[in-house]
Structure 1
Amino acid sequence: MDGVGLGGADPAINPFISTNMPNLRSLLDGSHLSAAAPLPLVTPRATLLALDARLGVEGLPQSATGQAALLTGQNVAAIIGYHYGPKPNQEVATCLKNGNLFSTLTKAGLRAALLNAYPPRYFDGIESGHRLPGAIAMAAYRAGIHLMTADDLYQGNAISADLTGKGWQEHLGFKDAPQITPQKAGIRLKELSGRYQFSLFEYWLSDVAGHNQDMHQAHILLETFDQMLGGLIEAWEDDEG
């Protein structure tokens, strides 16, 4: 879930307090996802830690350097001397090229996947030079990971960014795109993850809602996310990892 931090306990400004998220709270032993939770929090199925996204570098944390830090295990903002985003510049791209989580796994002979489905115009934009991939997609691509396409979405091998596929129908013009419930998306994420030793799904709509400062939109997205989480929790088998 992109663009999310640990906010305070005021429901007027923190949608994680004012949104009904029973499945997330069940993972956190009844706590809200906020700075008011007893941190660090370790439960049978989840761990919640408080980290400073600045990583010792002055300025406002940004997506590219922050995601690259998670993907490489290195303080990328400190390496290049500043926070940068939203998409990687050449310096961040070099850090990702020199080694990242996806490439480490594939070099070890393990199967890894990025489960997001990308529409044709995403690939067209990158090929034309009018669009840059985000750090996560760039890391996967540089590791030789197949970026999922519309065909993968239709075949049930990938998940749409909004979880349900509704956005593909309403905003991308794919009127026959398969649409599923958030709960089914969670079940499908579990099923797809079983094909790989490591899989990742990037939920970036939360970041968009944060930038828009749209509380109503945030409530809808978080409710959808929690319903997906419910399907994932119900389908998950702890003895499988």
Structure 2
Amino acid sequence: MHMVMIFLDGFGLGGKDDNPIVAAETPSIDELLGGHLLWGKRYITYKNTVLRPLDPLLGVEGTPQSATGQTTLWTGLNAAKAIGHHLRAYPNKSLAEIIAEKSIFRQLAELGKTTMFANTFTKGYDQAVAAGKRAHTASTLSALAGGVRLRRVPDLLAGLAVYQDMTNEILVQQGEPVSLISSFEAGRRLGNLALHYDFTLYEFFQTDVKGHKQLWDEVIGLVERIDSFIGGFLSVVKEEDVAWILTSDHGNIEDFSVKGHTMNPVPALCWSNQPMKWPEWNTLEEVTPGIIKLLTEGS
């Protein structure tokens, strides 16, 4: 079985009002769920799809943040409790040490599983990190901890990677020698790539970026881009031995009545080609152990 995680930063399960996810047209997701139902605290089982809400609060006071939420998601260890608070943006030294030891990529590699981080990295990114102008996120640290090769623009040009905005628009603006593609085609590329690995991660963080700016129309467009991406992905994997989960680290875009991150649950939207007993996840820290169990013991 091939397991894929599609990670959407800042994508929660909110109410019906002030919610761009509800306002967007999402035919691919609606077909999976049997309706326009990716909102509210729902437990859904429909055909080969399962939706469960995950608690991102981690039993720690305060609003959920990216560094601790993502570290928790990709290690199975409650990072907020480990350091005593929620930490935004980039992992600190303590979180980096947790990731180095417990990364899902490392755990799977030690079990003999093949893994891939599908995102594309540029020379500009490398230079910024080397100059101390930016730091690796939890996802990148997790991949590196498992010995995963970071994919580059030549990989993208060869159809062997996907950029973080799906369509390459940002790369084109930066002057990289790439062409724009549709989000549907980006999803197809991820699907084809995932068939060669036991576990694949793809990270999309424009949801959190646009959510912080509270750009209603742009966020609706992003949600519809995500839906098209999923449609493209499914067009490749629907007949293959593939299971995938769409999830997040915390809420943001689902509630425009709140500026910034929310306290809402995040989705564990799960699908598989064949009927499968998914773990009854309730919190972020249960996801990595559940994925490892599925890949080593089956459903």
Please, what TM-score do these two structures have when normalized by structure 1?
A: 0.93
Instruction: Select the structure that is richer in strand.
Output: 2
Contact 1:16 1:32 in 2 (8 A): no
Contact 2:167 2:180 in 1 (8 A): yes
What is the CA RMSD across the aligned residues, in angstroms? 1.3
Work out which of the residue numbers 5, 15, 22 in structure 2 matches 1:8: 15
**2: CA distance between counterparts of 1:46 and 1:132?**
36
Query: 1:178 Cα shift?
Result: 2.8
- Give the ranges of 4+ consecutive aligned residues of structure 1 lying more than 4 Å apart after TM superposition: none
Work out whether 1:52 is the aligned partner of 2:55. Answer: yes
Work out whether 1:18 is the aligned partner of 2:23. Answer: yes
**2: CA distance between counterparts of 1:47 and 1:131?**
37
For 1:193, the aligned partner's letter is A
1:84 matched residue in structure 2? 87
Query: 1:184 Cα shift?
Result: 1.0
Per-residue CA deviation, residues 155-182 of structure 1 (Å, 9 max, x unaligned), is: 1110011111122112x111x3032211
1:137 matched residue in structure 2? 140
For 1:133, the aligned partner's letter is H
For 2:31, the aligned partner's letter is S
Please, what TM-score do these two structures have when normalized by structure 2?
A: 0.76
Query: 1:17 Cα shift?
Result: 0.6
Contact 1:113 1:198 in 2 (8 A): yes
Per-residue CA deviation, residues 46-88 of structure 1 (Å, 9 max, x unaligned), is: 3221222111100111101001111111111011110002110
In the TM superposition, what are the counterparts of 1:47-126 in structure 2 within 5 Å?
47-126=50-129
Between 1 and 2, higher relative CO (CA 8 Å, sep ≥ 6) is seen in 2
| Stretches of structure 1 lacking an aligned partner (at least 5 in a row) | none
Identity in percent: 33
**1: CA distance between counterparts of 2:121 and 2:46?**
34
For 2:120, the aligned partner's letter is A
| Stretches of structure 2 lacking an aligned partner (at least 5 in a row) | 1-7, 243-299
| Shift in alpha-carbon separation, 1:200–1:125, aligned structure 2, 3 A | same
Instruction: Select the structure that is richer in helix.
Output: 1
Contact 2:117 2:148 in 1 (8 A): yes
